[in-house]
A and B are shown apart, each in its own frame.
Chain A
Protein backbone atom coordinates (compact mmCIF):
# COMPACT_ATOMS: atom_id res chain seq x y z
CA UNK A 1 0.00 0.00 0.00
CA UNK A 2 1.92 2.99 -1.20
CA UNK A 3 -1.02 5.20 -2.05
CA UNK A 4 -0.10 8.85 -1.42
CA UNK A 5 -1.28 10.64 1.66
CA UNK A 6 -4.23 8.75 2.92
CA UNK A 7 -3.24 9.66 6.46
CA UNK A 8 -2.16 12.82 8.24
CA UNK A 9 -0.29 10.86 10.89
CA UNK A 10 1.01 7.38 11.59
CA UNK A 11 1.37 6.18 15.19
CA UNK A 12 3.81 3.31 15.66
CA UNK A 13 2.72 1.06 18.52
CA UNK A 14 -0.77 0.40 19.88
CA UNK A 15 0.12 0.60 23.54
CA UNK A 16 -1.98 2.87 25.68
CA UNK A 17 0.10 5.97 24.94
CA UNK A 18 0.03 5.37 21.21
CA UNK A 19 -3.74 4.97 21.37
CA UNK A 20 -4.18 8.12 23.46
CA UNK A 21 -2.01 10.00 21.00
CA UNK A 22 -4.02 8.74 18.04
CA UNK A 23 -7.31 9.52 19.78
CA UNK A 24 -6.30 13.13 20.41
CA UNK A 25 -5.02 13.59 16.85
CA UNK A 26 -8.19 12.05 15.43
CA UNK A 27 -10.31 14.18 17.75
CA UNK A 28 -8.66 17.23 16.17
CA UNK A 29 -9.77 16.02 12.76
CA UNK A 30 -6.55 14.33 11.65
CA UNK A 31 -6.66 11.11 9.71
CA UNK A 32 -4.60 8.75 11.82
CA UNK A 33 -3.52 5.15 11.60
CA UNK A 34 -2.15 3.16 14.53
CA UNK A 35 0.15 0.26 13.66
CA UNK A 36 0.46 -2.46 16.28
CA UNK A 37 2.80 -5.36 15.83
CA UNK A 38 0.91 -7.84 18.02
CA UNK A 39 -2.51 -9.36 17.45
CA UNK A 40 -3.90 -7.45 20.45
CA UNK A 41 -3.88 -3.79 21.37
CA UNK A 42 -2.55 -2.35 24.57
CA UNK A 43 1.16 -3.12 24.59
CA UNK A 44 1.91 -3.74 28.23
CA UNK A 45 -1.66 -2.79 29.18
CA UNK A 46 -3.28 -5.89 27.82
CA UNK A 47 -5.67 -8.62 28.94
CA UNK A 48 -5.22 -12.06 27.45
CA UNK A 49 -6.94 -15.39 28.02
CA UNK A 50 -3.86 -17.58 27.97
CA UNK A 51 -5.48 -20.41 29.92
CA UNK A 52 -9.11 -21.01 28.88
CA UNK A 53 -11.58 -19.11 31.02
CA UNK A 54 -8.92 -17.23 32.98
CA UNK A 55 -8.01 -13.68 32.01
CA UNK A 56 -4.60 -12.27 32.82
CA UNK A 57 -3.60 -8.64 32.90
CA UNK A 58 -0.42 -9.98 31.41
CA UNK A 59 2.00 -7.18 32.36
CA UNK A 60 0.64 -3.97 33.82
CA UNK A 61 -2.04 -4.86 36.37
CA UNK A 62 -3.44 -1.69 37.96
CA UNK A 63 -4.18 1.75 36.67
CA UNK A 64 -2.41 4.33 38.72
CA UNK A 65 -2.40 7.85 37.43
CA UNK A 66 -4.55 7.75 34.33
CA UNK A 67 -4.99 11.46 33.69
CA UNK A 68 -8.51 12.62 34.53
CA UNK A 69 -8.43 15.08 31.62
CA UNK A 70 -7.92 12.13 29.26
CA UNK A 71 -10.84 10.28 30.81
CA UNK A 72 -12.96 13.38 30.19
CA UNK A 73 -11.63 14.49 26.80
CA UNK A 74 -11.99 11.03 25.30
CA UNK A 75 -15.12 10.17 27.30
CA UNK A 76 -13.57 6.84 28.22
CA UNK A 77 -16.45 5.72 30.48
CA UNK A 78 -18.65 5.71 27.40
CA UNK A 79 -16.19 3.29 25.82
CA UNK A 80 -16.24 0.92 28.74
CA UNK A 81 -13.62 2.26 31.13
CA UNK A 82 -14.62 1.25 34.64
CA UNK A 83 -12.17 1.48 37.51
CA UNK A 84 -12.92 -0.62 40.56
CA UNK A 85 -11.65 0.12 44.06
CA UNK A 86 -8.54 -1.60 45.31
CA UNK A 87 -8.56 -0.33 48.81
CA UNK A 88 -6.28 -2.19 51.16
CA UNK A 89 -2.65 -3.25 51.28
CA UNK A 90 -1.72 -6.34 53.26
CA UNK A 91 1.88 -7.04 54.20
CA UNK A 92 2.08 -10.58 55.63
CA UNK A 93 5.04 -11.13 57.94
CA UNK A 94 7.24 -14.20 58.35
CA UNK A 95 6.42 -14.44 62.07
CA UNK A 96 2.73 -14.90 61.32
CA UNK A 97 1.79 -11.30 62.07
CA UNK A 98 0.71 -8.82 59.42
CA UNK A 99 0.24 -5.14 58.66
CA UNK A 100 -2.79 -3.93 56.74
CA UNK A 101 -3.59 -0.46 55.52
CA UNK A 102 -7.36 -0.32 54.97
CA UNK A 103 -9.61 2.10 53.12
CA UNK A 104 -11.00 3.28 56.43
CA UNK A 105 -8.85 5.77 58.24
CA UNK A 106 -9.65 4.63 61.79
CA UNK A 107 -9.16 1.00 60.93
CA UNK A 108 -5.72 1.78 59.52
CA UNK A 109 -4.80 3.93 62.50
CA UNK A 110 -5.73 1.15 64.91
CA UNK A 111 -3.77 -1.38 62.90
CA UNK A 112 -0.68 0.84 62.81
CA UNK A 113 -1.11 1.51 66.54
CA UNK A 114 -0.75 -2.21 67.15
CA UNK A 115 2.75 -1.95 65.67
CA UNK A 116 3.67 1.52 66.87
CA UNK A 117 1.48 4.17 68.51
CA UNK A 118 3.89 6.83 67.24
CA UNK A 119 3.64 5.66 63.66
CA UNK A 120 -0.14 5.61 63.84
CA UNK A 121 -0.10 9.38 64.27
CA UNK A 122 2.92 10.09 62.09
CA UNK A 123 1.10 8.37 59.25
CA UNK A 124 -1.55 11.09 59.16
CA UNK A 125 1.00 13.91 59.34
CA UNK A 126 3.02 12.28 56.59
CA UNK A 127 -0.11 11.86 54.50
CA UNK A 128 -1.02 15.52 54.85
CA UNK A 129 2.45 16.71 53.84
CA UNK A 130 2.58 14.39 50.84
CA UNK A 131 -0.86 15.53 49.76
CA UNK A 132 0.21 19.17 49.89
CA UNK A 133 3.32 18.37 47.87
CA UNK A 134 1.37 16.35 45.40
CA UNK A 135 -0.98 19.28 44.81
CA UNK A 136 2.07 21.45 44.07
CA UNK A 137 3.77 18.91 41.83
CA UNK A 138 0.73 17.72 39.93
CA UNK A 139 0.65 20.47 37.28
CA UNK A 140 4.05 19.23 36.08
CA UNK A 141 2.39 16.08 34.82
CA UNK A 142 0.31 18.12 32.43
CA UNK A 143 3.10 20.29 31.07
CA UNK A 144 5.47 19.93 28.13
CA UNK A 145 8.90 20.11 29.80
CA UNK A 146 10.75 23.32 28.95
CA UNK A 147 14.38 23.13 27.84
CA UNK A 148 16.68 24.43 30.58
CA UNK A 149 19.45 25.20 28.09
CA UNK A 150 17.21 27.25 25.89
CA UNK A 151 16.61 30.97 26.27
CA UNK A 152 13.56 30.94 24.08
CA UNK A 153 10.62 32.82 25.59
CA UNK A 154 8.55 29.65 25.55
CA UNK A 155 11.07 27.70 27.61
CA UNK A 156 11.69 30.57 30.01
CA UNK A 157 7.96 30.94 30.45
CA UNK A 158 7.78 27.22 31.20
CA UNK A 159 10.32 27.55 33.97
CA UNK A 160 8.56 30.66 35.21
CA UNK A 161 5.36 28.66 35.54
CA UNK A 162 7.23 25.91 37.32
CA UNK A 163 8.71 28.38 39.79
CA UNK A 164 5.25 29.77 40.45
CA UNK A 165 3.95 26.33 41.41
CA UNK A 166 6.66 25.94 44.00
CA UNK A 167 6.53 29.48 45.34
CA UNK A 168 3.29 28.60 47.06
CA UNK A 169 4.99 25.93 49.16
CA UNK A 170 5.79 26.67 52.79
CA UNK A 171 9.23 26.14 54.26
CA UNK A 172 8.46 22.70 55.65
CA UNK A 173 7.03 21.54 52.35
CA UNK A 174 9.91 22.92 50.34
CA UNK A 175 12.45 21.14 52.51
CA UNK A 176 10.48 17.93 52.27
CA UNK A 177 10.38 18.23 48.50
CA UNK A 178 14.13 18.75 48.40
CA UNK A 179 14.68 15.68 50.54
CA UNK A 180 12.33 13.63 48.41
CA UNK A 181 14.30 14.57 45.33
CA UNK A 182 17.63 13.57 46.81
CA UNK A 183 17.22 10.89 49.46
CA UNK A 184 16.59 7.18 49.36
CA UNK A 185 13.08 6.01 50.16
CA UNK A 186 14.36 4.06 53.17
CA UNK A 187 16.25 7.03 54.64
CA UNK A 188 13.38 9.41 54.10
CA UNK A 189 10.86 7.05 55.69
CA UNK A 190 13.28 6.48 58.61
CA UNK A 191 12.74 10.12 59.47
CA UNK A 192 9.06 9.44 59.93
CA UNK A 193 8.42 5.85 60.96
CA UNK A 194 9.76 2.97 62.99
CA UNK A 195 7.55 0.07 61.85
CA UNK A 196 9.63 -2.07 59.49
CA UNK A 197 6.88 -3.54 57.32
CA UNK A 198 5.34 -0.08 56.93
CA UNK A 199 8.61 1.47 55.81
CA UNK A 200 9.37 -1.48 53.56
CA UNK A 201 5.96 -1.54 51.91
CA UNK A 202 5.96 2.21 51.34
CA UNK A 203 9.53 2.29 50.06
CA UNK A 204 8.73 -0.52 47.65
CA UNK A 205 6.77 1.97 45.57
CA UNK A 206 10.06 3.83 45.07
CA UNK A 207 11.87 0.87 43.55
CA UNK A 208 9.23 -0.52 41.22
CA UNK A 209 10.55 -0.56 37.69
CA UNK A 210 13.97 0.81 38.61
CA UNK A 211 17.27 -0.99 38.99
CA UNK A 212 17.72 0.49 42.45
CA UNK A 213 17.18 -0.67 46.00
CA UNK A 214 15.23 1.06 48.78
CA UNK A 215 18.50 2.45 50.13
CA UNK A 216 19.58 3.90 46.78
CA UNK A 217 19.42 7.70 46.70
CA UNK A 218 16.75 9.11 44.42
CA UNK A 219 14.12 6.54 45.25
CA UNK A 220 12.24 8.72 47.73
CA UNK A 221 10.48 10.97 45.28
CA UNK A 222 8.33 8.15 43.86
CA UNK A 223 6.58 8.11 47.26
CA UNK A 224 4.86 11.23 45.98
CA UNK A 225 3.34 9.31 43.10
CA UNK A 226 1.02 7.46 45.43
CA UNK A 227 -0.34 10.72 46.73
CA UNK A 228 -0.70 12.17 43.25
CA UNK A 229 -3.26 9.45 42.75
CA UNK A 230 -4.87 10.46 46.03
CA UNK A 231 -5.67 13.95 44.71
CA UNK A 232 -8.00 12.37 42.25
CA UNK A 233 -9.24 10.12 45.04
CA UNK A 234 -12.94 10.68 44.60
CA UNK A 235 -12.44 10.70 40.86
CA UNK A 236 -10.87 7.26 41.24
CA UNK A 237 -8.35 7.33 38.45
CA UNK A 238 -6.57 4.69 40.52
CA UNK A 239 -7.59 1.08 40.97
CA UNK A 240 -8.34 -2.10 39.11
CA UNK A 241 -9.77 -1.65 35.63
CA UNK A 242 -12.74 -3.88 34.94
CA UNK A 243 -11.69 -6.53 32.46
CA UNK A 244 -8.04 -6.05 33.37
CA UNK A 245 -5.68 -3.40 32.04
CA UNK A 246 -6.62 -4.42 28.54
CA UNK A 247 -9.96 -2.82 29.40
CA UNK A 248 -8.23 0.56 29.61
CA UNK A 249 -6.55 0.07 26.23
CA UNK A 250 -9.78 -1.12 24.65
CA UNK A 251 -11.68 1.92 25.91
CA UNK A 252 -9.02 4.28 24.53
CA UNK A 253 -9.04 2.39 21.22
CA UNK A 254 -12.84 2.68 21.20
CA UNK A 255 -12.59 6.43 21.64
CA UNK A 256 -9.92 6.71 18.94
CA UNK A 257 -12.06 4.74 16.49
CA UNK A 258 -15.06 6.88 17.25
CA UNK A 259 -13.00 9.93 16.32
CA UNK A 260 -12.15 8.17 13.07
CA UNK A 261 -8.73 6.65 13.75
CA UNK A 262 -7.78 3.54 11.85
CA UNK A 263 -6.24 0.89 14.11
CA UNK A 264 -4.40 -2.09 12.68
CA UNK A 265 -3.01 -5.06 14.53
CA UNK A 266 -0.40 -7.49 13.24
CA UNK A 267 1.08 -4.54 11.41
CA UNK A 268 4.65 -4.32 12.68
CA UNK A 269 6.72 -1.39 11.48
CA UNK A 270 10.21 -2.23 10.22
CA UNK A 271 11.51 1.25 9.62
CA UNK A 272 10.57 4.90 9.55
CA UNK A 273 11.22 6.30 6.07
CA UNK A 274 13.38 9.41 6.32
CA UNK A 275 14.01 11.66 3.31
CA UNK A 276 16.24 14.72 3.61
CA UNK A 277 16.11 14.64 7.40
CA UNK A 278 12.32 14.43 7.37
CA UNK A 279 10.06 11.52 8.29
CA UNK A 280 7.72 10.81 5.40
CA UNK A 281 6.20 7.46 6.30
CA UNK A 282 6.90 3.95 7.46
CA UNK A 283 7.82 0.62 5.93
CA UNK A 284 5.94 -2.32 7.42
CA UNK A 285 7.50 -5.66 8.17
CA UNK A 286 5.44 -7.18 5.37
CA UNK A 287 7.03 -4.78 2.90
CA UNK A 288 4.12 -2.37 2.55
CA UNK A 289 4.74 1.34 2.86
CA UNK A 290 2.46 3.95 4.35
CA UNK A 291 3.16 7.64 3.82
CA UNK A 292 2.11 10.50 6.06
CA UNK A 293 3.48 13.93 6.91
CA UNK A 294 3.71 13.04 10.62
CA UNK A 295 5.11 9.88 12.18
CA UNK A 296 4.80 9.31 15.93
CA UNK A 297 6.60 6.54 17.80
CA UNK A 298 5.04 5.18 20.96
CA UNK A 299 7.94 2.76 21.34
CA UNK A 300 10.65 3.16 23.93
CA UNK A 301 13.53 5.57 23.16
CA UNK A 302 15.94 2.81 22.22
CA UNK A 303 13.59 1.42 19.61
CA UNK A 304 12.36 4.83 18.51
CA UNK A 305 15.86 6.09 17.74
CA UNK A 306 18.19 3.13 17.41
CA UNK A 307 15.94 0.73 15.50
CA UNK A 308 13.23 2.68 13.69
CA UNK A 309 15.62 5.17 12.08
CA UNK A 310 19.21 4.95 10.83
CA UNK A 311 21.85 6.43 13.14
CA UNK A 312 23.05 8.50 10.18
CA UNK A 313 19.81 10.46 10.32
CA UNK A 314 20.51 11.52 13.92
CA UNK A 315 23.22 13.73 15.47
CA UNK A 316 26.04 11.70 17.05
CA UNK A 317 25.68 13.21 20.51
CA UNK A 318 21.99 12.44 20.45
CA UNK A 319 22.62 8.81 19.50
CA UNK A 320 25.14 8.63 22.35
CA UNK A 321 22.65 10.06 24.80
CA UNK A 322 20.02 7.54 23.78
CA UNK A 323 22.55 4.71 24.04
CA UNK A 324 23.30 5.83 27.60
CA UNK A 325 19.63 6.15 28.51
CA UNK A 326 19.08 3.66 31.32
CA UNK A 327 16.46 1.07 30.52
CA UNK A 328 17.61 -1.92 32.56
CA UNK A 329 14.72 -4.25 33.22
CA UNK A 330 14.45 -5.23 36.85
CA UNK A 331 11.11 -6.94 37.24
CA UNK A 332 9.12 -9.92 36.12
CA UNK A 333 5.53 -11.01 36.29
CA UNK A 334 3.87 -14.25 37.32
CA UNK A 335 0.21 -14.85 36.50
CA UNK A 336 -1.63 -17.76 38.05
CA UNK A 337 -4.93 -19.52 37.48
CA UNK A 338 -6.15 -20.86 40.81
CA UNK A 339 -8.68 -23.48 41.82
CA UNK A 340 -9.09 -21.83 45.21
CA UNK A 341 -8.08 -18.65 47.02
CA UNK A 342 -4.72 -18.43 48.76
CA UNK A 343 -5.10 -18.98 52.48
CA UNK A 344 -2.70 -16.67 54.30
CA UNK A 345 -1.40 -17.97 57.61
CA UNK A 346 -1.48 -14.46 59.04
CA UNK A 347 -5.16 -13.87 58.14
CA UNK A 348 -6.75 -17.25 57.47
CA UNK A 349 -9.76 -17.75 55.26
CA UNK A 350 -11.65 -15.48 52.95
CA UNK A 351 -11.70 -11.83 53.85
CA UNK A 352 -11.55 -8.27 52.59
CA UNK A 353 -7.74 -8.40 52.62
CA UNK A 354 -7.96 -10.58 49.51
CA UNK A 355 -9.62 -7.74 47.62
CA UNK A 356 -6.68 -5.37 47.96
CA UNK A 357 -2.98 -5.43 47.24
CA UNK A 358 -0.77 -7.95 48.98
CA UNK A 359 2.83 -6.87 49.37
CA UNK A 360 5.68 -9.22 50.16
CA UNK A 361 7.91 -6.63 51.78
CA UNK A 362 8.38 -7.55 55.44
CA UNK A 363 11.38 -5.28 56.01
CA UNK A 364 13.69 -2.85 54.28
CA UNK A 365 16.51 -5.37 54.75
CA UNK A 366 14.44 -7.95 52.92
CA UNK A 367 14.04 -5.63 49.93
CA UNK A 368 17.67 -4.57 49.97
CA UNK A 369 18.77 -8.21 50.03
CA UNK A 370 16.53 -8.91 47.08
CA UNK A 371 18.34 -6.05 45.33
CA UNK A 372 21.73 -7.44 46.32
CA UNK A 373 21.00 -10.60 44.33
CA UNK A 374 20.16 -8.52 41.28
CA UNK A 375 23.17 -6.22 41.60
CA UNK A 376 25.39 -9.21 41.01
CA UNK A 377 23.42 -10.65 38.14
CA UNK A 378 21.00 -13.08 39.81
CA UNK A 379 17.25 -12.93 40.28
CA UNK A 380 16.13 -12.43 43.87
CA UNK A 381 15.85 -15.72 45.68
CA UNK A 382 13.36 -14.04 48.00
CA UNK A 383 11.86 -11.31 45.83
CA UNK A 384 9.67 -8.31 46.52
CA UNK A 385 6.16 -8.96 45.24
CA UNK A 386 3.10 -6.83 44.68
CA UNK A 387 0.12 -9.11 44.32
CA UNK A 388 -3.53 -8.70 43.49
CA UNK A 389 -6.30 -11.21 42.97
CA UNK A 390 -8.24 -9.62 40.08
CA UNK A 391 -11.09 -12.16 40.24
CA UNK A 392 -11.89 -10.97 43.77
CA UNK A 393 -12.46 -7.47 42.43
CA UNK A 394 -13.92 -8.34 39.05
CA UNK A 395 -15.35 -11.89 39.12
CA UNK A 396 -15.43 -11.92 35.31
CA UNK A 397 -11.65 -12.44 35.23
CA UNK A 398 -12.05 -16.15 36.05
CA UNK A 399 -14.75 -18.83 35.78
CA UNK A 400 -17.26 -18.70 38.69
CA UNK A 401 -15.58 -19.80 41.91
CA UNK A 402 -12.09 -19.84 40.39
CA UNK A 403 -9.44 -17.16 40.63
CA UNK A 404 -6.57 -15.45 38.92
CA UNK A 405 -3.58 -13.99 40.72
CA UNK A 406 -1.28 -11.31 39.39
CA UNK A 407 2.19 -11.18 40.89
CA UNK A 408 4.58 -8.37 40.09
CA UNK A 409 8.07 -9.56 41.01
CA UNK A 410 11.24 -7.65 41.58
CA UNK A 411 14.16 -8.23 41.03
CA UNK A 412 14.64 -10.05 37.79
CA UNK A 413 17.56 -8.34 36.08
CA UNK A 414 17.44 -8.14 32.30
CA UNK A 415 21.15 -8.90 32.14
CA UNK A 416 21.00 -12.07 34.19
CA UNK A 417 24.31 -13.79 34.61
CA UNK A 418 24.65 -16.13 31.66
CA UNK A 419 21.45 -14.79 30.11
CA UNK A 420 17.85 -15.89 30.46
CA UNK A 421 16.53 -19.13 29.07
CA UNK A 422 13.49 -21.27 29.67
CA UNK A 423 15.03 -23.21 32.54
CA UNK A 424 16.03 -20.04 34.35
CA UNK A 425 12.65 -18.54 33.71
CA UNK A 426 10.93 -21.46 35.40
CA UNK A 427 13.47 -21.41 38.24
CA UNK A 428 12.54 -17.76 38.74
CA UNK A 429 8.86 -18.78 38.75
CA UNK A 430 9.64 -21.43 41.35
CA UNK A 431 11.37 -18.87 43.59
CA UNK A 432 8.22 -16.79 43.45
CA UNK A 433 5.90 -19.66 44.33
CA UNK A 434 8.23 -20.99 47.04
CA UNK A 435 8.39 -17.57 48.66
CA UNK A 436 4.63 -17.14 48.54
CA UNK A 437 4.06 -20.63 49.91
CA UNK A 438 5.77 -19.49 53.11
CA UNK A 439 2.87 -17.09 53.63
CA UNK A 440 0.05 -19.05 51.98
CA UNK A 441 0.91 -22.77 52.16
CA UNK A 442 -2.08 -23.89 50.07
CA UNK A 443 -1.00 -21.86 47.06
CA UNK A 444 1.21 -24.37 45.20
CA UNK A 445 -1.59 -26.97 45.32
CA UNK A 446 -4.15 -24.52 43.92
CA UNK A 447 -2.27 -23.62 40.75
CA UNK A 448 -4.02 -24.69 37.54
CA UNK A 449 -1.82 -22.72 35.21
CA UNK A 450 1.20 -20.49 35.58
CA UNK A 451 2.63 -17.87 33.26
CA UNK A 452 6.09 -16.56 34.08
CA UNK A 453 7.43 -13.46 32.37
CA UNK A 454 11.02 -12.33 32.78
CA UNK A 455 12.46 -9.16 31.24
CA UNK A 456 13.60 -11.44 28.42
CA UNK A 457 10.00 -12.50 27.72
CA UNK A 458 8.65 -8.99 28.10
CA UNK A 459 11.16 -7.73 25.54
CA UNK A 460 10.43 -10.50 23.07
CA UNK A 461 6.66 -10.49 23.43
CA UNK A 462 5.73 -6.90 24.22
CA UNK A 463 8.68 -5.18 22.57
CA UNK A 464 9.84 -3.32 25.67
CA UNK A 465 13.62 -2.96 25.42
CA UNK A 466 15.27 -5.00 28.17
CA UNK A 467 11.80 -5.62 29.54
CA UNK A 468 11.77 -2.27 31.32
CA UNK A 469 8.15 -1.62 32.25
CA UNK A 470 8.54 2.18 32.18
CA UNK A 471 10.39 2.50 28.81
CA UNK A 472 13.39 3.68 30.82
CA UNK A 473 14.00 4.00 34.52
CA UNK A 474 12.12 6.66 36.43
CA UNK A 475 15.17 8.08 38.14
CA UNK A 476 15.78 11.79 38.54
CA UNK A 477 18.38 12.08 35.79
CA UNK A 478 15.83 10.68 33.35
CA UNK A 479 12.81 12.75 34.27
CA UNK A 480 11.06 15.89 33.09
CA UNK A 481 13.34 17.95 30.83
CA UNK A 482 15.84 15.06 30.77
CA UNK A 483 13.38 12.44 29.50
CA UNK A 484 14.57 10.86 27.29
CA UNK A 485 17.39 13.38 26.97
CA UNK A 486 18.12 17.07 27.30
CA UNK A 487 16.82 19.19 24.47
CA UNK A 488 14.39 16.56 23.24
CA UNK A 489 11.92 16.34 26.08
CA UNK A 490 9.22 18.22 24.17
CA UNK A 491 8.15 15.16 22.15
CA UNK A 492 9.99 16.31 19.03
CA UNK A 493 13.06 14.47 17.72
CA UNK A 494 16.09 15.42 15.64
CA UNK A 495 14.24 14.00 12.63
CA UNK A 496 11.71 16.52 11.41
CA UNK A 497 8.08 15.39 11.53
CA UNK A 498 9.08 12.40 13.67
CA UNK A 499 7.66 12.56 17.19
CA UNK A 500 7.87 10.42 20.31
CA UNK A 501 4.96 9.71 22.67
CA UNK A 502 5.85 6.61 24.71
CA UNK A 503 6.54 6.25 28.40
CA UNK A 504 10.16 7.12 27.65
CA UNK A 505 9.01 10.74 27.39
CA UNK A 506 7.72 13.03 30.14
CA UNK A 507 6.13 12.18 32.55
CA UNK A 508 6.48 8.47 31.72
CA UNK A 509 5.73 5.30 33.58
CA UNK A 510 2.49 3.57 34.45
CA UNK A 511 -0.84 3.82 32.69
CA UNK A 512 -1.13 7.61 32.70
CA UNK A 513 -1.64 8.39 29.02
CA UNK A 514 0.03 11.72 29.76
CA UNK A 515 2.88 11.22 27.27
CA UNK A 516 0.50 10.32 24.48
CA UNK A 517 -1.68 13.33 25.19
CA UNK A 518 1.08 15.89 25.58
CA UNK A 519 2.76 14.69 22.40
CA UNK A 520 -0.53 15.05 20.52
CA UNK A 521 -1.00 18.58 21.84
CA UNK A 522 2.56 19.38 20.78
CA UNK A 523 1.95 17.98 17.30
CA UNK A 524 -1.31 19.84 16.95
CA UNK A 525 0.03 23.09 18.35
CA UNK A 526 3.30 23.33 16.47
CA UNK A 527 3.08 22.96 12.72
CA UNK A 528 5.28 20.15 11.44
CA UNK A 529 8.61 21.80 10.73
Chain B
Protein backbone atom coordinates (compact mmCIF):
# COMPACT_ATOMS: atom_id res chain seq x y z
CA UNK B 1 0.00 0.00 0.00
CA UNK B 2 2.97 2.32 0.57
CA UNK B 3 5.18 3.87 -2.06
CA UNK B 4 8.96 4.27 -1.97
CA UNK B 5 9.91 7.90 -1.99
CA UNK B 6 13.50 8.88 -2.67
CA UNK B 7 14.94 11.80 -0.71
CA UNK B 8 18.19 13.49 -1.65
CA UNK B 9 20.18 16.00 0.40
CA UNK B 10 21.17 19.06 -1.64
CA UNK B 11 23.05 22.19 -0.77
CA UNK B 12 21.51 25.39 -2.07
CA UNK B 13 23.91 25.81 -4.96
CA UNK B 14 23.14 26.53 -8.60
CA UNK B 15 22.90 23.49 -10.83
CA UNK B 16 22.56 20.86 -8.12
CA UNK B 17 19.00 19.88 -8.93
CA UNK B 18 19.83 19.69 -12.63
CA UNK B 19 22.54 17.18 -11.75
CA UNK B 20 19.94 14.90 -10.19
CA UNK B 21 17.56 15.16 -13.14
CA UNK B 22 20.52 14.50 -15.45
CA UNK B 23 21.35 11.27 -13.65
CA UNK B 24 17.72 10.13 -13.86
CA UNK B 25 17.50 11.07 -17.50
CA UNK B 26 20.64 9.12 -18.39
CA UNK B 27 19.22 6.07 -16.65
CA UNK B 28 15.86 6.46 -18.37
CA UNK B 29 14.03 6.90 -15.09
CA UNK B 30 10.65 8.60 -15.05
CA UNK B 31 9.75 11.08 -12.28
CA UNK B 32 6.07 11.02 -11.46
CA UNK B 33 6.08 13.44 -8.54
CA UNK B 34 8.63 15.82 -7.07
CA UNK B 35 8.78 18.28 -4.23
CA UNK B 36 11.55 20.38 -2.75
CA UNK B 37 11.78 21.51 0.83
CA UNK B 38 14.37 24.15 1.43
CA UNK B 39 16.05 26.13 4.16
CA UNK B 40 18.64 28.89 3.84
CA UNK B 41 21.53 26.53 3.33
CA UNK B 42 20.19 23.20 2.20
CA UNK B 43 17.21 21.46 0.71
CA UNK B 44 15.69 18.03 0.43
CA UNK B 45 14.38 16.80 -2.89
CA UNK B 46 11.67 14.18 -2.60
CA UNK B 47 10.65 12.17 -5.63
CA UNK B 48 8.50 9.32 -6.76
CA UNK B 49 10.15 7.54 -9.67
CA UNK B 50 9.29 4.43 -11.61
CA UNK B 51 12.49 2.53 -10.77
CA UNK B 52 13.45 3.56 -7.23
CA UNK B 53 16.15 0.89 -6.74
CA UNK B 54 18.07 1.92 -9.82
CA UNK B 55 17.58 5.61 -9.08
CA UNK B 56 19.01 5.30 -5.55
CA UNK B 57 22.04 3.44 -6.82
CA UNK B 58 22.74 5.93 -9.59
CA UNK B 59 22.29 8.99 -7.36
CA UNK B 60 24.37 7.49 -4.56
CA UNK B 61 27.15 6.56 -6.98
CA UNK B 62 27.26 10.18 -8.07
CA UNK B 63 28.17 11.05 -4.47
CA UNK B 64 24.85 12.30 -3.07
CA UNK B 65 23.27 11.34 0.24
CA UNK B 66 20.06 9.46 -0.46
CA UNK B 67 17.49 7.61 1.57
CA UNK B 68 14.02 6.24 1.13
CA UNK B 69 10.82 6.82 3.05
CA UNK B 70 7.41 5.23 2.80
CA UNK B 71 4.60 7.52 1.70
CA UNK B 72 0.91 7.07 0.90
CA UNK B 73 -0.62 8.09 -2.44
CA UNK B 74 -4.14 9.10 -1.52
CA UNK B 75 -6.97 9.96 -3.90
CA UNK B 76 -8.67 13.13 -2.80
CA UNK B 77 -11.92 14.56 -4.24
CA UNK B 78 -10.95 17.47 -6.52
CA UNK B 79 -13.55 19.87 -5.17
CA UNK B 80 -13.64 22.50 -2.44
CA UNK B 81 -13.14 20.81 0.92
CA UNK B 82 -11.70 17.64 -0.70
CA UNK B 83 -8.30 17.81 0.97
CA UNK B 84 -9.85 19.02 4.18
CA UNK B 85 -12.06 15.94 4.27
CA UNK B 86 -9.02 13.63 4.27
CA UNK B 87 -7.00 15.74 6.67
CA UNK B 88 -9.91 15.86 9.06
CA UNK B 89 -10.06 12.07 9.18
CA UNK B 90 -6.37 11.82 10.02
CA UNK B 91 -6.62 14.65 12.50
CA UNK B 92 -9.46 12.98 14.37
CA UNK B 93 -7.30 9.88 14.66
CA UNK B 94 -4.45 12.03 15.97
CA UNK B 95 -2.15 10.96 13.13
CA UNK B 96 0.55 13.53 12.45
CA UNK B 97 1.50 14.56 8.94
CA UNK B 98 5.17 15.35 8.36
CA UNK B 99 4.54 16.78 4.88
CA UNK B 100 2.49 16.29 1.76
CA UNK B 101 2.70 17.19 -1.93
CA UNK B 102 0.70 16.46 -5.01
CA UNK B 103 1.00 14.53 -8.24
CA UNK B 104 0.87 16.35 -11.50
CA UNK B 105 -0.87 13.58 -13.37
CA UNK B 106 -4.03 12.04 -12.09
CA UNK B 107 -5.71 8.70 -12.75
CA UNK B 108 -9.26 9.98 -12.51
CA UNK B 109 -11.24 13.11 -11.75
CA UNK B 110 -9.70 13.02 -8.31
CA UNK B 111 -6.52 14.74 -7.18
CA UNK B 112 -3.66 12.57 -6.01
CA UNK B 113 -1.79 13.65 -2.90
CA UNK B 114 1.32 12.06 -1.33
CA UNK B 115 1.28 11.89 2.43
CA UNK B 116 4.22 11.33 4.74
CA UNK B 117 2.53 10.42 8.03
CA UNK B 118 3.63 9.50 11.51
CA UNK B 119 1.72 6.22 11.67
CA UNK B 120 1.45 4.48 8.30
CA UNK B 121 -0.45 1.37 9.37
CA UNK B 122 -3.15 3.30 11.21
CA UNK B 123 -3.47 5.81 8.36
CA UNK B 124 -4.08 3.04 5.83
CA UNK B 125 -6.65 1.43 8.08
CA UNK B 126 -8.48 4.65 8.84
CA UNK B 127 -8.55 5.94 5.29
CA UNK B 128 -9.64 2.68 3.69
CA UNK B 129 -12.38 2.35 6.29
CA UNK B 130 -13.60 5.73 5.13
CA UNK B 131 -13.57 4.46 1.52
CA UNK B 132 -10.69 6.68 0.54
CA UNK B 133 -8.60 5.14 -2.20
CA UNK B 134 -4.89 4.62 -1.64
CA UNK B 135 -2.95 3.76 -4.76
CA UNK B 136 -0.31 1.03 -4.94
CA UNK B 137 3.10 1.61 -6.54
CA UNK B 138 2.11 -0.44 -9.63
CA UNK B 139 -0.73 1.96 -10.35
CA UNK B 140 1.50 4.98 -9.73
CA UNK B 141 4.26 3.88 -12.08
CA UNK B 142 1.67 3.26 -14.83
CA UNK B 143 0.46 6.84 -14.68
Q: Do A and B come from one complex?
A: no
